Structure 1
Amino acid sequence: MISELVVNVEPQEMSIAVLEDKNLVELQKEARNLQFAVGDIYLGKVKKLMPGLNAAFIDVGYKKDAFLHYQDLGSNFNMQQKYLKQVLADPKKAVSISKLQNEPEIEKDGSIGDVLKIGQEVLVQIAKEPISTKGPRLASELSFAGRYIVLIPFGDKVSVSSKIKTAEERARLRQLIQSIKPKNFTVIVRTSAEGRRVAELDHELRTLVKRWEESIAKLSKDKIPSLIYEETGRAVALLRDIYNPSFQNIYVNDPDVYNSIRAYVSLIAPGSENIVQLYTGGLPIFDNFAITKQIKSLFGRTVTYKSGAYLVIDHTEAMHVIDVNSGNRAKSSDDQEQTAMEVNLAAADEIARQLRLRDMGGIIVVDFIDIHDNANKQKLFEHMTKAMASDRAKHNILPLSKFCLMQITRQRVRPAMDVETSETCPACFGTGTVKSSILFTDSLEGKIDCLVNKHHLKKFTLHIHPYVAAYVNKGLFPLSWQWKMKYTHGLKIVPNQSLAFLEYKFFDENNNELDMKEAQEVKV
């Protein structure tokens, strides 16, 4: 299997697509000015205690106070609070964390009022981003994730991933980390550390400790709430979790993001940085790799997957519901059980892909086509388990019920990916009527004339639908050539699959969009 990563960086948003054998399996979209991302660490203040929930609401600067449960304080919360008070009182006199004396651990079944008071300063980390009307979910046990290890201040343990099966390797890694880790830091050894040399692990450990020290240096009693540590850029963070030797290419269309990803790859896999490539093609990067078309076909309510069979995906307040339909498959065979089984097995593969692609979380109920043979039900359950084995989110799958329903729970950290595949027509603004389409190219020529002769722009790009682009480029003396000769040779025509039929966008030479849209007519 060939794995590729495609990063599309736009002025307001960054999109990251993961391809396996050219098929889209993961898509992440994130605003470039996003705050309160998972992993960010804040110095916050306790605003309200909720004894009934055994939790507190913390002011971290979000429009809604963030939620911190007692269970998420961490067993070494007392030690963290002692250190925080020292740093805030006088940063220059604060002792190093490695010289701190151990404090008693908080009780596992204690009360939030025993450890927190209103107005108290507290160090917290975003565990879940704001979702819908809810504020961020917090944890006070801080962690700094690397490629091979996770560093947790105010502890003193070494844990090794249970996915490393060899007892000798587990013992080697545990002993190795014990010999190099500083005091009062817990280290979790990740699965990817298997077989790594001490120099690699020591280098990453020092890097993570440095991140912690740089974060602490930002603490100030004058700035509460304040961000003291910002998680690595989304592209790098995703790469950190999914990178493996099977990656063939990483394509990026932005020089700055390209440099940061290349630097990270050279750090975690020296000699492999050449797989990171800067995309400079004329087409939008997602169009070039056929991602736009896959997004349009995969994110609707109805998803067709094989031989006419399809899924219907609905999101209710409480759960996601997926209905499996055979379409015209039932007509091709007299053996209903075998036909239903074939459709269900193919549906299991597509559902596993959709859960990962849309990042669907919480409770998912799948209504498979009825099958009666218990052996077939068990086979379908095992197939679904295998299909979801590569899903990095924690999940639990229950066997099929009597009514052929399968229940799945999947970890929800971020809001589910919801891409709207239908849109208000940009040509008629939803009114249902448009100007004569034969006059569309005349309207475009008017815009070009305005840019050249009124705004004195000589180099710009026009993005239009591929069908329209084919029309203006057809013939021996195409319309695009006539425009260049009449107005400017700096005009470039780009077919863009993400645009509607009569939609267009102008960009200057720095790729900034130029607002040349016609205003919507308002009827009185």
Structure 2
Amino acid sequence: MTSELVVDVQPKEISIALLENNRLVELQKEARNISFSVGDIYLGRVKKLMPGLNAAFVDVGYEKDAFLHYLDLGTQYNSSAKFLKQSLADRKRVLSLPKFNLLPDIEKDGTINDALKVGQEVLVQIAKEPISSKGPRLTAEISFAGRFLVLIPFSDKVSVSQKIKSNEEKLRLRQLIQSIKPRNFGVIVRTVAEGKRVAELNNELKTLVKCWEDMLVKLQKAKLPSLVYEETGRTVGLLRDIFSPSFENIYVNDKETYNQIRNYVSLIAPDRKDIVKLYEGELPIFDNFAITKQIKSSLGKTVSFKSGAYVIIEHTEALHVIDVNSGNRSKASSDQESNALDVNMNAAEEIARQLRLRDMGGIIVIDYIDMDEAENRQKLYDRMRELMANDRARHNILPLSKFGLMQITRQRVRPALDIITSEDCPTCHGKGTIPPSLLFTDVLESKIHYLVYKLKIKKFTLHVHPFVAAYINQGVFSLKMKWRCKYTFQMKVIPNQSLAYLEYKFFDAEKNEIDLKEEIDIKK
């Protein structure tokens, strides 16, 4: 299996697509003006204690206060609270954690009133992003994640991933980390550290300790509430978790992001840095790699798969519901049981992909086509477990119930991806009447005239639907050639699959959109 990462950097958001054998399996979108992401560390203030929930609400600068449960304080909360208090008391001196004396662990069955007070400063980390009407979920057990290691301040414990099967390797890694880690720092050794040399692990450990030290410096100047450590951008963060030798290419359409990713790959795999490539094509990067079409076909309410069968995916506040339908599927065999098994097995493959693609979390209920034989139900259950074995999110799958329902719980740390694939008419804005489409090219020409002679912009690109682009480009004396001769030879026409029919966008030489919405457009 080959993997490719395609990163689309736009002024308002960054989109990251993971392809496996050219098939879209993960898609993440991050607005560039939103600062909250899992792993960010904040200096916050306790706003309210909720003894009934054994939790507190903390102000970290979000419109809704963040939620911090007593069990998320971490066993070493006494030590971290004392360290924070001393750090804020003397803002001219940065405390050294290796020289700090740790306090005893907090009580496992304690109450939030014993640990926190209203108005108290707390150092917290985002564990879950704001979802729906809820604020962020917090933890006071701070950690810094790397590719091979996770650094945990205020602890001395070294843990090794259970996915490493060799006891000899586990012992080697544990002894190695114990010998090089600083005092009062715990470490979790990740699965990908298996077989790595001392130098590689030591370099990453030093990098993570440096992150902690940089955070302490920022903490000295912080005002409440304040971001004191920002997790690696989602692009690099995703790459850190999924990077593997099977990666063939990483394409990026932005120079700055390209440099960030290339520098990161140079650190973790110097011999693989050349797989990072700057995309400079004229087509939108997602169109070039056939991602836009896959998004349109895979992220709607109804998703079709093999032989006319399809699934319907519904989202509610409490859970996600998926219904499997055979559609107009026809088979030579009249055996309903084998037909149902075949549809269900194919549906399982698509559903496992959809869970990753949409990052669906919480409770998922799947209504498969009924099967009478217990053996077939077991086959379907085993197949679903096999398909989700590579899912990085923690999950639990239950066998089919007597009603033919499969229940899955999947770790949810950010809102499920919800992309509307239906399109409103860009010309009538849903009212149902439009000017003659034959005159659309006249509208475009008037816009070009306005750009060249009024705004004095002569180098620009026009993005239109592929059908319209084909019409503009057709023939030796095409419309595009006539416009270029009449107005400017620095004009380009680009087919863009993300645009609706009769929709258009103009971009300047720096790829910034030029807003040409006039009163005549808005009235319609």
For normalisation by structure 1, the TM-score amounts to 0.98
| CA offset digits 1:122-142 (Å, max 9, x no partner) | 100000011111111000000
Aligned to 1:485: 485
Matches within 5 A, 1:323-334: 323-330=323-330, 332-334=332-334
1:79 aligned partner? 79
Deviation at 1:82, TM superposition (A): 1.0
On the 8 A contact 1:283/1:495 being kept in 2, the answer is yes
- Where does residue 368 of structure 2 map in the other structure? 368
Which segment drifts farther, 452-461 or 214-223? 214-223
Matched residue SS, 1:152: strand
Aligned match of 2:130: 130
Distance in structure 2 (CA, Å) of the matches to 1:223 and 1:147: 31
Distance in 2 (CA, whole Å) between partners of 1:477 and 1:330 is 49
Residues 445-486 of structure 1: CA distance to partner in whole angstroms, max 9, x if unpaired?
000000001111110000000000000111120000000000
- In the alignment, what sits opposite 1:423? 423
Match of 1:22 in 2: 22
Q: Which residue of 2 aligns with 1:223?
A: 223
Corresponding letter in the other structure for 1:362? G
Shift of 1:156: 0.7
Q: Distance in 1 between matches of 2:92 and 2:291?
A: 53
Per the TM alignment, residue 11 of structure 1 is displaced from its structure 2 partner at its CA by 0.3
Is contact 1:158-1:174 (8 Å) kept?
yes
- AA in 2 matched with 1:276: V
Contact 2:92–2:220 at 8 Å: present in 1 too? Answer: no
Name the SS of the counterpart of 2:187 in structure 1.
Answer: strand
Given the superposition, is the C-alpha separation of residues 518 and 434 from structure 1 closer, same or farther in structure 2, using an over 3 Å criterion? farther
Change (3 A) 1:509 1:93: closer
> Conserved in 2, the CA contact under 8 Å of 1:4 and 1:20?
yes
CA distance in structure 2 between the aligned counterparts of 1:198 and 1:358, rounded to whole angstroms:
38
Is 2:4 the counterpart of 1:11? no
Runs of 5+ unmatched residues, structure 1: none
Q: Alpha-carbon deviations, 1:139-164, whole Å to 9, x = none?
A: 00000000000001011110000000
Deviations 1:25-76 (A, max 9, x none): 0000000122111100000011111111100111111111111000000000
Which range moved further: 512-521 or 386-395?
512-521
SS of the counterpart of 1:19?
A: strand
Q: What is the CA distance between 1:285 and its match in structure 2?
A: 0.2
1:419 Cα offset (Å): 0.5
Q: How do 1:156-305 and structure 2 match up within 5 A?
A: 156-220=156-220, 223-305=223-305
Q: Is 1:414 aligned to residue 414 of structure 2?
A: yes
Percent identity between matched residues is 68
AA aligned to 1:251 is Y
- Given that residues 330 and 339 in structure 1 are in contact (C-alpha distance below 8 angstroms), is that contact kept between their aligned partners in structure 2? no
- Give secondary structure in 1 for the equivalent of 2:305: strand
- Within 2, Cα distance between the matches of 1:317 and 1:217? 41
Q: Does the C-alpha gap of structure 1 residues 205 and 490 become closer, same or farther in structure 2, counting only changes over 3 Å?
A: same
Note the 1:43-62 alignment, pairs <5 A: 43-62=43-62
Deviation at 1:321, TM superposition (A): 0.8
Q: Name the structure 2 match of 1:347.
A: 347
Following superposition, the deviation at residue 194 of structure 1 comes to 0.1
Alignment check: 8 A CA contact 2:46 2:120 kept = yes
Whole-Å Cα distance in 2 between the matches of residues 118 and 484 of structure 1? 67
Instruction: Please provide the CA RMSD for this pair.
Output: 1.1
Q: Which residue of 2 aligns with 1:474?
A: 474
Measured in 1, the distance between the counterparts of 2:242 and 2:394 equals: 15
Range 88-97 or range 509-518, more displaced = 88-97
1:327 aligned counterpart, secondary structure:
coil
Residue identity matched to 2:2: I
- Letter of the aligned partner of 2:338 in structure 1? Q
**Aligned residue-pair number:** 523
Helix, strand or coil for the counterpart of 2:378?
helix
Structure 1: how far apart are the matches of 2:276 and 2:282?
19
Give per-residue Cα distances to partners, 1:399-442, cap 9 Å, x unaligned.
01112111111111000001100132111111011110000000
- The answer on whether the counterparts of 2:94 and 2:217 sit within 8 Å (CA) in structure 1 is no
Normalising by structure 2, we get a TM-score of 0.98
Alignment gaps of 5+ in structure 2: none
- CA 220–92 in structure 1, closer or farther in 2 if over 3 Å, else same: closer
Please tell me whether the aligned partners of residues 466 and 497 of structure 1 are also in contact (alpha carbons under 8 angstroms). yes
2: distance between equivalents of 1:371 and 1:67? Answer: 43
Pick closer, same or farther for the CA change 1:88–1:73 going to 2, 3 Å.
Answer: same
Q: Tell me which amino acid in the other structure corresponds to 2:217.
A: A
Measure the CA separation in 1 of the matches of 2:120 and 2:463: 54
Query: 1:379 matched to which residue of 2?
Result: 379
Deviation (angstroms), 1:94: 4.9
Q: 2 CA distance for matches of 1:92 and 1:485?
A: 67
